[in-house]
Amino acid sequence: MKLNYYNICGMAVCAVLIFSTLVRRIHKGKLGKIYFMMLLSVFFSAAFDVVAVSLDNATHELIPLKYFINSGYLFFHNLTGAMYSVYIIAITDSMHLVRKRRFLKTSYWLPLSVVSVLLLVNLFNGCLFTFDENGIYKRGEMFLVLYISTAFYIFSGVYYLFKYKKTIAFDRWIALMLVVPASVFSALLQLIFPELIIEMFVNAISIMFVSTIIQRPEEFLDVETGARNETALISDTKRMFITGKPVDMILIKIINYQNMLDYISSEDVSAIMKKIVSFLYEKSESVKMKSTDIYFHKRGMICIISEAEYHDRIAGYLDAVMEYLRNPIVVSEVSLNCDVSVCSVRCPEDIDSFESMNLFINNFIDKGSSADELYEASDIINNRNYSIQLNIETIINRAIAENRFKVYYQPIYSVSEKRFVCAEALIRLYDDEYSYVSPELFIPAAEKNGSIHKIGKYVLEEVCRFISSEQFRTLGISFIDVNLSAVQCMNSNLTGEIQEILARYGVPPESIVLEITETAASYEHNIMDENIKLLTDAGFNFSLDDFGTGYSNMSRIADLPFKIGKLDKIFTRTGENKKLDLVTESSVHMMKAMNMKIVVEGVETREMLDRFTDLGCDYIQGYYFSRPIPEDEFVKFILENQMVS
Ligand code: C2E
Ligand code: MG
Ligand code: MG
């Protein structure tokens, strides 16, 4: 008597999974379809096995029916193995590699085809299984072929799983891998104890594992627009480059996306994006660009990825998309035009690595800003800054290892004292390959990789060494401004580190003014607040850098102990724009009302100098007096110009 309970449970588990897959509508899309077929295959093999075992237990007759049921069971059992390997090929995005190798492409379904033919032939010659005169099931001499076919599929799945391990997250990889020992173990168990019919149950549990750990497309979906989300864009592009899948990408930046969010409800903005995404999907289907994926990036960008074999359809598709976007889109009685800039990229021809792609997308989001414009990928790629950003980690590491950083000083002029009273320390980097690399490029990268702490310490040490030198005392410079980045301010050891450096050089805290940008200062961050408090108590002064460029929470800024405010250089563009002039004047009034001394940055001409002097600003910094210069030139400059009026 064979135990049928496990089989029934396995069937029930599959039925629940089928139901939930249909309700969650996750049986769509390439991967969804393959998963669903694999699930159906397990379900049918379990169902056929339930009937087969029941018949075996109940009667020794009904042989034709038994033939049919057992054939069905064996077919679906083999199909499950095949679907498992196809699922792995799809999830590792290596389908294009299988297709590329003609031998693999044609022979892939061979084992399953042989099994299907043998199952038919079996009805006549019993080569796979038969029933003896007592109606008892007996294996035929070619039964081994069934094992060979299943083994072929399982091992090819495992092969791709190992080969493209990097394309999937570890938990998913383990879930897919576990299927193998589980099914081998259950098959062995069933071989040793033929009455213990457990294989289908184990298969059902395995697919439940896959369902809960892997088949969660909601994770990759932007629920508001119905497109795939940023997480999906990252993981899909990463996988694409690992397996070398050739694709066409179209990036559409909605230039006025932020404006829309400012002026209409976020529901309406989402509805507009949803309409665009639906159009893009429908159009890709109508021009037969199969398995095109659409992604929505929260910074207002839509990305379309299509397989390279449809390349010749891209131009027509793009025309239709641009035409559609030129017309207003209507939602809940709001009619809006989207200003877009569009860029099309071929991978791997234009971009051949995930890092470049990531950088490219970010650059495009920042750069692509002329409405109705079509960018060439090469516009961005051939840009020098792009290439620097791509290699910035190497550049920073090289600079640290080879001591390449230098500190320059830019003198700051006091209007009342009519002389230079302080200076700002600005870091400089000359790289052998890229020559001058702007701090605006490497500081953000150094913040990301953590080297900013090392760089910050280096700048402060250099400044302290300079201040403690004999020569410095002869210059009449009261203090040096040192820039602190947001990331440095969030380091709980910052206060101790700064004090330790000053103590080492015997420099008093009044000789240093710490500059924090307005954007950094407006972050609500406990450690930053604690650092500012501790450093102020220890005698340091703070200055608010780039005033007027952040969209700050003014009440927070007013609470912080800034002695000096540095009016950003955008305000020096006087006379160009009357409104900007008004903003400049009120910014100056505001800083005065907050009891701050005012430094104006970026003063390049005599007119600018006069204007800000008339406005009552206290200090002037800019090319009009001097660019940032190396220490020895700075000393020379101050000694020669200290009596400038
Ligand atoms: P920042 O602190 O606002 O520095 C002023 C920037 O304006 C400097 O750019 C300076 O060279 C430039 N500048 C000065 N006068 C003029 C002028 O008349 N016209 C124009 N067009 N520009 C002028 P730089 O040196 O490229 O630095 C850019 C930014 O990088 C700095 O802005 C600062 O935020 C950051 N940075 C520079 N050195 C350091 C550093 O040691 N540590 C940190 N954390 N950030 C730094
Ligand atoms: Mg500064
Ligand atoms: Mg500044």
pLDDT tens per residue across span 436-471: 999 998 999 899 889 999 999 999 999 999 999 999
Q: What's the confidence (pLDDT) of residue 2?
A: 77
Question: Within 6 Å (CB) of ligand 1, which residues are found?
Answer: 410, 426-427, 438-440, 443, 459, 483-485, 515, 545-546, 569, 601-604, 621-623, 628
Alpha carbon of residue 342 to chain centroid = 20
Rounded Cα distance, 380 and 344, in Å: 11
The preferred substitution site among 396, 407, 426, 605 for testing ligand 1, maximizing ligand atoms within 8 Å of CB, is 426
The two structure tokens encoding residue 180? 């193998």
Q: What is the pTM of this model?
A: 0.66
Ligand 2: distance of its center to the CA of 515 in Å? 6
Q: What's the confidence (pLDDT) of residue 575?
A: 66
Confidence of residue 645 (pLDDT cuts 50, 70, 90): very low
With CA atoms as reference, report the closest residue to 217 among 248, 252, 268, 172. 172
Alpha carbon of residue 76 to chain centroid = 40
How big is the chain by its Cα radius of gyration, in Å?
Answer: 35
Q: Which residue has the higher pLDDT, 309 or 523?
A: 309
Check pLDDT > 80 for residue 396.
yes
Ligand 2: distance of its center to the CA of 495 in Å? 19
Task: Indicate which ligand has the atom closest to the C-alpha of 481.
Answer: 2
Confidence of residue 625 (pLDDT cuts 50, 70, 90): very high
Range of 157-166, 462-471, 517-526 with top mean pLDDT: 462-471
Q: Work out which ligand 1 atom sits closest to the CA atom of 459.
A: 41
Rounded Cα distance, 481 and 492, in Å: 21
Please tell me what DSSP assigns to residue 510. G
With CA atoms as reference, report the closest residue to 144 among 238, 50, 74. 74
Q: What is the average pLDDT value for the chain, to the nearest integer?
A: 90
Check pLDDT > 70 for residue 115.
yes
Burial of 505 (0-12, 13-18, 19+ CB in 10 A): middle
Hey, whose CA ends up nearest to atom 42 of ligand 1?
483
pLDDT tens per residue across span 31-80: 888 999 999 999 999 999 999 988 888 877 788 888 999 999 999 999 99
Q: What's the confidence (pLDDT) of residue 644?
A: 41
Q: Work out which ligand 1 atom sits closest to the CA atom of 568.
A: 3
- What is the average per-residue pLDDT within 246-261? 92
Ligand 1: distance of its center to the CA of 634 in Å? 16
Rounded Cα distance, 21 and 194, in Å: 33
The answer to whether the beta carbons of residues 588 and 548 sit under 8 Å apart is no
Count of CA atoms in the C-beta half-sphere (13 A) of 242: 20
Rounded Cα distance, 382 and 368, in Å: 15
Count of CA atoms in the C-beta half-sphere (13 A) of 434: 24
The answer to whether the beta carbons of residues 529 and 542 sit under 8 Å apart is no
Rounded Cα distance, 64 and 378, in Å: 68
Hey, whose CA ends up nearest to atom 21 of ligand 1?
602
The two structure tokens encoding residue 526? 């406990």
With CA atoms as reference, report the closest residue to 426 among 626, 157, 188. 626
Rounded Cα distance, 194 and 53, in Å: 11
Rounded Cα distance, 88 and 97, in Å: 13
Helix then strand then coil, in percent of the chain rounded to 5, is 60, 15, 25
Check pLDDT > 70 for residue 197.
yes
Hey, whose CA ends up nearest to atom 13 of ligand 1?
602
Residue positions counted in the chain: 645
CA-to-CA separations, 566 to 412, 463, 601, in angstroms, rounded:
11, 20, 7
Rounded Cα distance, 594 and 381, in Å: 45
Confidence of residue 217 (pLDDT cuts 50, 70, 90): confident
**How large a percentage of the chain has pLDDT more than 70?**
97
Output the CA torsion sign for 398, 400, 403, 404.
Answer: positive
Ligand 3: distance of its center to the CA of 483 in Å? 9
- What is the average per-residue pLDDT within 521-547? 92
Q: What's the confidence (pLDDT) of residue 372?
A: 59
Rounded Cα distance, 337 and 76, in Å: 53
Residue 439: asked if its preceding bond is cis (omega within 30°), the reply is no
- One-letter amino acid at 335 equals S
Q: Work out which ligand 1 atom sits closest to the CA atom of 481.
A: 2
**Helix (H/G/I), strand (E/B), else coil: 418:** coil
**How large a percentage of the chain has pLDDT more than 90?**
59
Confidence of residue 368 (pLDDT cuts 50, 70, 90): low
Residue 397 CB neighbours (<10 A) = 12
327-331: which pairs have CB atoms within 8 A and are 24 or more residues apart? 329/272, 329/275, 329/276, 331/268, 331/271, 331/272, 331/275
Helix (H) and strand (E) counts for the chain?
28, 19
Rounded-to-10 torsion of CA 522, 464, 591, 553: 0
Rounded Cα distance, 331 and 335, in Å: 6
CA-to-CA separations, 207 to 196, 217, 300, 582, 620, in angstroms, rounded:
20, 16, 37, 67, 70
Check pLDDT > 70 for residue 492.
yes
The preferred substitution site among 407, 438, 515, 601 for testing ligand 1, maximizing ligand atoms within 8 Å of CB, is 601
Q: Return the beta strands (E) in 337-455 as ranges.
A: 340-347, 373-376, 405-414, 419-431, 435-437
Q: How far apart are the first and last CA of the chain?
A: 109
Q: What's the confidence (pLDDT) of residue 421?
A: 97
Ligand 3: distance of its center to the CA of 284 in Å? 47
Kindly give the residue spans of alpha helices, DSSP state H, lying in 92-163.
95-100, 102-107, 110-125, 144-163
